[in-house]
Amino acid sequence: MIGDGAEDTLKVRFADGSELRNFSGNYMPDLSITFHTRWAEWRTIIFLPVGFFDAYIDGSVDIEGDNPIARIARLGHAAGIGRGRNSLRTILSHNPLVSLRDAWCELTQDNVSRKRAIRNAEFHYSLPVELFKYKLGNTLGYSEGYWVEGTETLDQAKHNLYEYICQKLQLKPGMKVLEVGSGWGYLPIYMVKKYDVDVVVYNPTKEQNEYMLRRFERHGVADRIRIEFGVHADIMKERSKFDRFVTIGVHEHHGMRKGMYHLWWRSIAHVLKDGGIGVVSTSSYMDYHMTGYLTLRYIWPGGHIPSVPMEILVMRREGLRLVELENLWTHYKRTVAAWRDRFKRHWPEIRTSNPAVFDERFKRRWIMYLEAVAQHFDDRLDCTHFIFVKSSDPGVYPPTLEERYLNADFRTGSDVVECYE
């Protein structure tokens, strides 16, 4: 990783003042790592990357460079970490201490109970909204964007994504739509304003729901959107049937247990009318495994990146039929890179907005997350759209792409986006 043939220049300074570098001279290297304590060095030896980034977050390791965490990931891949059955990642994953930490987080955070699911959601989504305004842009849409040719801004990409999903849903005036996990409410407003539908929203955080209600009232759609405080499984209590179902960036919260895969798809089948159409957008893997300790501890307690084959299998067993699968990983990678850059650029404003919450430790854990995710899309992380129907009638869904997306209202170039702020 730090041999003479490495493309990146690297300097590591240890707690005793000694240094290791792969270049000569006094210039600034591409990547500089400084261990401030012997314990930080031992944490790295014992817990490997997990220990290293634990130490970074608590300030006992400093990392300098241009997007240094992403650079560390690239160097790791170049050294053979994470590629192939006999990769270093596979070997490291058998470290019993690392495996035990992962398993303990999975066991104690899994969203198997309603109370725990709400608590986990609040950990992330109940943070002061100023963080998300600066990070996500004016739509406050917390999902991938859709960067069609000519898209220039993050707001355009978010508008395009929601328009694209509406086209996939084949919305028509007067339809009833159920959305789980609406965040701060951009998509419900967009669906009502643009497609003249009525929407029911299930969302598990009080702060987001209050923000949504004020936003709906400002834009004159509060009478067309009903907000229910609840988690995904709560939609099983719905007595109404819906023409359409949509959820964006929420399936990552159903947990690893296979019973939760079944419960979520069963609940979707419960609320859809016969002949109804649904769209699920989620980050995803092809394989099935536990979420890492760092993600569960610092960013997404209870999180689980779903397995695409598992989702398809369970969907079918619960009475829903897959129509189309699309991987938008390149679009999500570009979106996360935009979030990363906005977070860094606006950190002074974020910090000032609430110094008690947004301290140095918070900054480090979010930079770790945003840089690592952007890089992870180059490795094995995907972004999957599932289009499905509750029907076996081949005429329920348009058979060609042209029929579905020909009239999509994408915004590019100098086009203005209504962000419903």
56-91 pLDDT, tens digit per residue, is 999 999 999 888 988 887 776 655 554 445 555 555
Identify which has the larger pLDDT, 84 or 8. Answer: 8
The Cα 182–Cα 215 span in angstroms is 12
The least confident of 70-84, 202-216, 345-359 is 70-84
pTM of the model: 0.91
pLDDT, residue 3, reads 44
pLDDT, residue 70, reads 83
pLDDT, residue 27, reads 83
Closest CA to 281 of 140, 398, 111, 143: 143
Averaged pLDDT of the chain: 90
- Please say if the pLDDT value at position 293 is more than 90: no
Average pLDDT over residues 30-39: 95
Strand 242-248's sheet: what is its strand order? 225-229, 198-203, 176-180, 242-248, 272-284, 382-389, 321-327
Considering the chain, what percentage of its residues have pLDDT values greater than 70? 94
Identify which has the larger pLDDT, 352 or 378. Answer: 352
* Confidence band, pLDDT 50/70/90 cuts, at residue 338: very high
pLDDT, residue 5, reads 41
Considering the chain, what percentage of its residues have pLDDT values greater than 90? 71
Provide the CB-side half-sphere exposure for 312 (13 A, CA).
Answer: 17
Total residues found in the chain within this entry: 421
Instruction: Give all domains of the chain, ordered by start, each with its CATH number.
Output: 10-94 (no CATH), 112-405 (3.40.50.150)
Average pLDDT over residues 247-274: 94
* Confidence band, pLDDT 50/70/90 cuts, at residue 1: very low
pLDDT digits (tens, 9 = 90+) for 181-208: 999 999 999 999 999 999 999 999 999 9
pLDDT, residue 198, reads 98
Own/partner pairs, 219-222, CB within 8 angstroms, 24+ separation: 219/189, 219/193, 219/420, 221/188, 221/189, 221/192, 221/193
The least confident of 21-35, 133-147, 268-282 is 21-35
Average pLDDT over residues 140-159: 96
pLDDT, residue 4, reads 42
pLDDT, residue 121, reads 92
Closest CA to 301 of 113, 73, 16, 110: 110
Residue 237 corresponds to which tokens in the numbers above?
Answer: 């209590």
Q: Which of 42-51, 254-263, 382-391 has the highest average model confidence (pLDDT)?
A: 382-391
* Confidence band, pLDDT 50/70/90 cuts, at residue 102: confident
Query: What are residue 248's DSSP bridge partners?
Result: 281
- Please say if the pLDDT value at position 419 is more than 90: yes
